[in-house]
Amino acid sequence: MDTKQLYEQYMITSMVAGFEPVVVTRAAKCTFTAEDGKEYLDCFSGIAVTNAGHGHPKVVAAAKKQLDELVHCCTYVYYSPRAGELCKMLADISPGKLQKSFLGNSGAEAIEGAMRIAKQHTKRKEMVALTHSFHGRTVGTLSITGNKARKKGSCPYLSGVAFAPAPYCYRCPFKLKPESCNTACAHAIEDVIRFQTAGDVAAFIAEPLMGEGGILVPPDDYFKIAAGLVRADGALFIADEVQSGFGRTGKLFAIEHYGVEPDIMCMAKGIADGFPLSAFIVTPEIANAFTPGDHLSTFGGNPVSCAAAMANIGVMADEKLPANSAARGKQIMDRLKKFQTTCKVVGDVRGKGLMIGVELVKDAAKDKAPAADAAKKVRVAAREAGVLVGVGGTFGNVVRVQPPLVLTAEQAERVCDVLEKAMTAVAKSA
Ligand code: PLP
């Protein structure tokens, strides 16, 4: 049986946008090599994971060295040097007073832990989250996910969750314009707390750039207003940096664009360049909320993943990957924004660094009807031209450009060439 048949017969799969018919056997930097020998420029990074590039030699070497020494001991039963060292490193690179980390395996696990410690610290029970958000696929994380399509089939969810309107400027929930809206979506959090909760809010959780919702970029003053309102109520601010962290947006963490220090920050995806690992980091005061026996993860803080993560964080600094992400992101967005003025199906081009979304619509000048089919067609045409992009967003109409942060200027031009050609063809056939 070939790989596709094995998947069909033996794996549970449910990708929304369908599988890419590419059997990946090798990868290096930004390039995937398929079973048939064809090479692809990867602009999705295993969903925003391999930020330092596929198989970065320093990350791989650190993991190989650790494999020979210790694969597993359970970080929460015995002292494991790599776990301790990584937690110190996370404290060094995280904003503000964030200092103590809990290490887990996945983004969802980090979010679950963050919600739990927020509740235990504040002795409160409710959560405020955002519409269009995505925080994972466990019952707890789906409870705070603001997207019906992701939630279906897993009810009942946790009670005590209220949703504030997302900062989705292109489809403003208040039908306002960014230049004159006074960031109404952030101010709305006050009423959400006042009218939709029982006054028992432990935390407000948000993605500093909203990934699965369609690469939504909150206005510059959004988090200052939001965190201010939430803290005035006595609740905490949790930044979900699972997708936006580790250089993806042009800064090490996306919340740094907003000048706000979260009380809790969640990390995963880009933390170890592809090795499974996650963390949430809190202030020492909040960390004290966990008492012995409260929280544990058998595989969390695996030594091999921790060694890879430390090498990965070193590479980020040595190779100035956040700066390259900012430069290449600007290059791509400048070009695509120019192209947008000539192509009726391009509704919006947005993002920061190499976290870019191109929202496709039926006709940008007439209405903003989402064009999910167009996004799928662009993905197929790009793949046929050797470039792999993602498709997502609440309406399935956003082309996602999230390559490894080692993307070169030439590769960035190629991505634009391929996407512009694909979007022109789609616009002609629309
Ligand atoms: N939070 C955000 C912002 C995400 O984008 C994701 C995954 O896409 C998650 C949490 C869940 O991470 P994981 O799939 O590792 O559980």
Local structure of residue 428 (DSSP, 8 states): H
Q: Model confidence at 267, in pLDDT bands (50, 70, 90)?
A: very high
212 CA closest ligand 1 atom index: 5
Structure tokens at 163: 């949703």
> Would the CB of 130 count as within 6 Å of ligand 1?
no
Going from the Cα of 410 to the center of ligand 1, the distance in angstroms, rounded, reads 30
> Would the CB of 280 count as within 6 Å of ligand 1?
no
Per-residue pLDDT tens for 199-241? 999 999 999 999 999 999 999 999 999 999 999 999 999 999 9
Q: How far apart are CA 158 and CA 321, in angstroms?
A: 39
Please, what is the end-to-end C-alpha distance for the chain in angstroms?
39
Tell the residue nearest (CA) to atom 5 of ligand 1: 243
Q: Are 315 and 402 in contact (CB under 8 A)?
A: no
Single out the residue of 95, 163, 88 nearest to residue 132, CA to CA.
Answer: 163
> Would the CB of 107 count as within 6 Å of ligand 1?
yes
Q: How far apart are CA 120 and CA 216, in angstroms?
A: 31
Work out the average pLDDT over 111-136. 98
Q: What is the DSSP string of 161-206?
A: EEEEPP--GGG-TT---TTTSTTHHHHHHHHHHHHHS-S-EEEEEE
Q: Are 115 and 266 in contact (CB under 8 A)?
A: no
Please tell me the predicted confidence (pLDDT) of residue 419: 98
207 CA closest ligand 1 atom index: 3
Per-residue pLDDT tens for 17-55? 678 999 999 999 999 999 999 999 999 999 999 999 999
Q: How far apart are CA 241 and CA 232, in angstroms?
A: 23
Q: Which residue has the tokens 């410690």?
A: 117
pTM above 0.85, yes or no: yes
Sign of CA dihedral 42, 46, 52, 53: negative
Cα–Cα distances (Å) from 200 to 63, 117, 409, in that order, read 44, 15, 50
Going from the Cα of 135 to the center of ligand 1, the distance in angstroms, rounded, reads 5
Q: What is the mean pLDDT of the chain?
A: 97
Q: How far apart are CA 41 and CA 28, in angstroms?
A: 10
> Would the CB of 212 count as within 6 Å of ligand 1?
yes
Work out the average pLDDT over 415-420. 98
Q: Are 390 and 400 in contact (CB under 8 A)?
A: yes
Work out the average pLDDT over 375-388. 98
Structure tokens at 403: 């390559």
Structure tokens at 323: 């700066």
Q: How far apart are CA 321 and CA 315, in angstroms?
A: 8
211 CA closest ligand 1 atom index: 5
Please tell me the predicted confidence (pLDDT) of residue 83: 98
Please tell me the predicted confidence (pLDDT) of residue 17: 66
Going from the Cα of 279 to the center of ligand 1, the distance in angstroms, rounded, reads 12
Mutational pocket test of ligand 1: of 269, 271, 391, 400, the residue with most ligand atoms within 8 Å of the beta carbon:
269
Work out the average pLDDT over 144-154. 94
Work out the average pLDDT over 261-286. 98
Residue 15 clears pLDDT 80, i.e. is over it: no
Cα–Cα distances (Å) from 346 to 12, 342, 351, 384, 426, in that order, read 34, 9, 14, 21, 10
> Would the CB of 108 count as within 6 Å of ligand 1?
yes
111 CA closest ligand 1 atom index: 10
Work out the average pLDDT over 90-104. 98
Going from the Cα of 14 to the center of ligand 1, the distance in angstroms, rounded, reads 16
Q: Are 416 and 335 in contact (CB under 8 A)?
A: yes
Going from the Cα of 341 to the center of ligand 1, the distance in angstroms, rounded, reads 33
Per-residue pLDDT tens for 127-137? 999 999 999 99
Tell the residue nearest (CA) to atom 13 of ligand 1: 107
